[in-house]
Amino acid sequence: MSDLLLEVCQVSKTFIRGGVLTGRRVAAVKDVSFRLAAGRPEIFAIIGESGSGKTTLSRMILNIDTPTSGKLRFDGVDLATIRTAGDRLAFMHKVQPIFQNPFESFNPLKRIDRYLFMTHRRFIAADGRLAPEMAVDEALHKVGLSLKEVSRRYPHELSGGQLQRVAIARALLANPKLIVADEPVSMIDASLRISIVNLFKTLRDDLGISIIYVTHDLATAYYVSDRIIIMQQGSVVESGDARAVLNAPQHPYSRQLREAALLPDFAAGL
Ligand SMILES: Nc1ncnc2c1ncn2[C@@H]1O[C@H](COP(=O)(O)OP(=O)(O)O)[C@@H](O)[C@H]1O
Ligand SMILES: [Mg+2]
């Protein structure tokens, strides 16, 4: 155990687009550092426009991509030392992803309940106290659904909002300490977005799960986050308490984002 849940230390990622010799280097993430404390669950937003490096950074936190330089540690473990299938499974128990398009996260030909049972089997070591039906039903209840509602149904039979809830329930089956959600509401009907971001608050408050909320949407970030970082072209330009930063942005880019975020909606808190 470590006092820190997540440490991102001077992380950079450079891609080479085109051939190795002739290609152009793209610095997607530049020297980013932040920390999440253990035992103090929070919603931490990574904010920036399209192309600012948010997905690249979240993929490194999920250990899907490796940094070009810098270090990431989760629960004191350097992600670069995670090599075996067993190490990877142990990491996935603790850190779970939620992606932008829930329809892409599920195989369209596979029934949702079967998916959840498969996930439960995979992570059963985490929590063997419940029978599969009970465990899956419990996870679905945490997101406002039930096994009865999704039983025998295929992904396309649910709305985007419902399916994103199922994706969150699936993540909960692993019993994670951190959820990394990359633009989780941007493909969801505006009217349902708030219920999903409210769900993140419930996960934080009732289950003690920290959430990294990646978004280009200042309004939901303002509403839901405890702390934020604002990224521009791979670099963090401003960071701190969400409301303090968004109410009085100091950096010109943050001010510009805030001005673009339609102040009347913003003031109404959505
Ligand atoms: N696999 C890749 N190969 C080359 N360039 C990439 C790759 N992934 C991302 N990039 C580039 O890195 C930059 C940041 O992208 P990304 O992390 O997806 O930003 P965001 O999620 O904020 O939109 C962009 O210029 C993007 O084109
Ligand atoms: Mg992205």
Please state, in angstroms and as integers, the Cα–Cα distance from residue 44 to each residue in 19, 177, 229, 235, following that order.
36, 13, 8, 16
**Which residue's CA is the closest to the ligand 1 atom numbered 8?**
56
Report pLDDT digits (tens) over 119-161: 998 887 555 667 889 999 999 999 999 999 999 999 999 999 9
Least confident among 12-21, 74-83, 112-121: 12-21
- Pick from 49, 85, 51: which is nearest to 257 by CA? 49
Model confidence at 270: pLDDT above 50: no
CA distance 28 to 34: 17
Mean pLDDT of the residues in the chain: 92
- From CA 17, how far away is CA 34, in angstroms rounded? 28
Q: Which domain holds residue 116?
A: 4-267
Q: Indicate which ligand has the atom closest to the C-alpha of 184.
A: 2
How many structural domains are present in the chain?
1
Is 205's pLDDT higher than 90? yes
Q: Of all residues in the chain, what percent carry a pLDDT higher than 70?
A: 94
Q: Is the pLDDT of residue 269 over 50?
A: no
Q: What is the pLDDT of residue 72?
A: 98
Q: State residue 204's pLDDT score.
A: 98
Q: Per-residue pLDDT for 188 more than 50?
A: yes
- CB 54 less than 6 A from any atom of ligand 1: yes
Report the CATH number at residue 202. 3.40.50.300
What distance in angstroms lies between residue 55's CA and the mean position of ligand 2's atoms? 4
Judge if the beta carbon of residue 184 lies within 6 A of ligand 1: no
